[in-house]
Amino acid sequence: MAITLKRYQRALLALLSIILLSLGWLRVSGLSLLVAFVPLLLISASYGDSRKEWWRMAGWVALVMGAWCVATCWWIYYAAAVGIIAATIIQILLFGGVFMIFHSFSKKARKPHAYTTLIAGWLWAEHLYLHGEISFPWLVLGNGFAGDVWAIQWYEYTGALGGSLWVLLVNVLLFEWLLNRKSKGLGIATAVFAVVPIVVSLVVGGLYKENPNAQKATVTLIQPNFDPYEEKYNLPVEEQLEIISGLIGEAPEGVDYIVLPETVVGDAGDPIWEHYHLGSRSVRAMERARMAKNPESQLIVGAMTFHRYNGEADASATARRSGSLWYDRYNAALALDRDSTLKVSHKSRLVVGVEKMPYMNLLKPLEKLIVDMGGTTGQLGTDKYRRTFLLRNSRFPYGVSVASPICYESVYGDHFGAFTADGAQLMMVITNDGWWHDTEGYRQHFSYSRLRAIETRRWVCRAANTGISGFISPKGEVCESLGWDKRGVLTMDVTPSRNVTFYAKAGDYFGRLGTYLFILSLLYYVSYRIRQKNHLLNSK
């Protein structure tokens, strides 16, 4: 069915698509995603297969992809102006490129092939963005349902990419039904694919129950509310420690875990060397505050730490050099138990450009030159293995295993879920969302922990420097929270769990499947076009 549209109609449809794509990240509802691509598909159908019209369509696609990114992620500007520019460019090139491949295929190949390419290609792009050297998977379509957890309880089986597949399938079916409204089969299929996942979610969510006989752990979250641009680096360390120690003292007696946010301690004024942690006055001050009231508790705190090497031969690939000293710098979670024994987990999913330089292997040949000129190469150090913290005390003589993903790591479903597959019974997310000011950024980041709770069926205890600290149930429900620009303490009893979800075991399998299908779709298209050209030549 041919569609004729005027320029102003295409502009209105593009605007509608931008709005519908953005609503899930703007605290309205992610359900708008189920129809968000239909306007863009209508614009695509209104163009022919000429090169001139291809470029016109590319312009609309670039507008929609770019505006969607800016409308939902503009707050990145506060942390790094170049960040929102880079994110927008990649969004246009990667996801816009997938859509334009579909647009081309829709003019020259069969519809099923074109739609398969669109769906598989989009899942491939999300998988690449989740696992590539340059990674900012904020706008994974399945993330848009973070405010509609009642509708996605099946994420424990599929993860967020299952939500992306749902979005893409419903949009394609709805678009085809709009073109063929007399087809009852298409109408029924569209309704089924749109409604059945919601019904399944209500059933799965209704049936899920925690073990009522399981022993609960008491967790205290601390939100110190230090302005990262002012107080964090200008307020004397002694004053910061006095505030932190006072907040630790507010934890009730008998608490099992006391959790402080990302990088709350450890800097040039009081460096924390991992082999000599008690040499840090920050660590000593926090230990005194913990031991005074809760000597059997475990303290989990975010810190910038350093690890020293015995020379260049012993140093890691990310090590830095200062004179004759080789060392690694980490964004770390520290756990201190009743014996003041230090356990360390290093952040592994790093923020590109801030904590990580992508494609370091390409820079390796220039390393000595850069160092000789007074610069540094490399990035923050990372762990090769996921580490968990085990707490044993009189209440839990056999121990409770917890993991502490740091900030950005809570955006990655498969990485987060792998902690539970490795035995973590509780998840303690530590973060500092103050870099983005009072914007949608910290709210979106908090909402992603709701997705992670469903995917793993774990309690998520989230301690933020400021932003939102809170407790999230295994069904993604927010039970207690402390909002923006507030200093305080939250305490709650939560249930450790040993059950491992299907998604935690399997990871982003929809992304892997999409990658294989996308490659096959491209190869099939090349083969199809070759056969088509040969047929035309032979017919002559």
* Residue 153 included in any domain: yes
Q: For residue 298, what are the β-bridge partners?
A: 257
Do 162 and 250 lie in one domain? The reply is: no
Alpha helices in 217-314 (DSSP H): 231-234, 237-249, 281-293
Does 414 share its domain with 463?
Answer: yes
Give pLDDT, residue 203.
98
Is 525 found in the same domain as 502?
Answer: no
- Residue range of the domain that includes 421: 217-354+388-506
Q: Give residue 432's identity as a one-letter amino acid code.
A: N
With beta carbons less than 8 A apart as the criterion, state whether 472 and 450 touch: yes
- Within this chain, do residues 14 and 94 fall inside the same structural domain, yes or no? yes
Identify the pLDDT of residue 80. 85
435 with 527, same domain? no
**3 state SS of 135:** coil
In a domain, 2, yes or no: no
* Number of Cβ within a 10 Å radius of residue 328: 22
**What is residue 369's predicted lDDT score, i.e. its pLDDT?**
46
Copy the structure tokens of residue 228. Answer: 């990262």
- Please, what sign has the CA dihedral across residues 497, 503, 506, 511? negative
Q: Does residue 419 lie within any of the structural domains?
A: yes
* Whether residue 332 is found in the same domain as residue 224: yes
Residue 273 and residue 204 in one domain: no
pLDDT at 41: 98
Residue 493: give its domain's CATH number: 3.60.110.10
- pLDDT less than 70: residues of the chain: 1-2, 268, 277-278, 359-378, 533-540
For every residue of 354-390, DSSP letters joined together read TTB-S-HHHHGGGHHHHHHTT---------SS---EE
Q: 332 - beta bridge partners?
A: 303, 346
SS3 breakdown of the chain: % helix, strand, coil, rounded to 5?
Answer: 55, 15, 30
Residue 29's contacts (CB-CB under 8 Å, 6 or more residues apart) are 23, 147, 148
HSE at residue 207, side-chain half, CA atoms within 13 A, is 8
* Domain membership flag for residue 191: yes
Task: Please count the structural domains in the chain.
Answer: 2
Q: Are residues 398 and 333 in the same domain?
A: yes
CA distance 259 to 299: 6
| Residues 167 and 277 occupy one common structural domain | no
pTM over 0.85: yes
Residue 370 within a domain: no
Q: Do 96 and 182 belong together in one domain? A: yes
Residues 95 and 460: their CA atoms lie apart, in Å, by: 31
Q: Is residue 372 part of a domain?
A: no
Q: What is the pLDDT of residue 372?
A: 44
Q: Cα–Cα distance between 331 and 317 in angstroms, integer?
A: 16
317 and 177 both lie in a single domain? no
Residue 126 sits in the same domain as residue 269: no
DSSP for residue 351 = P
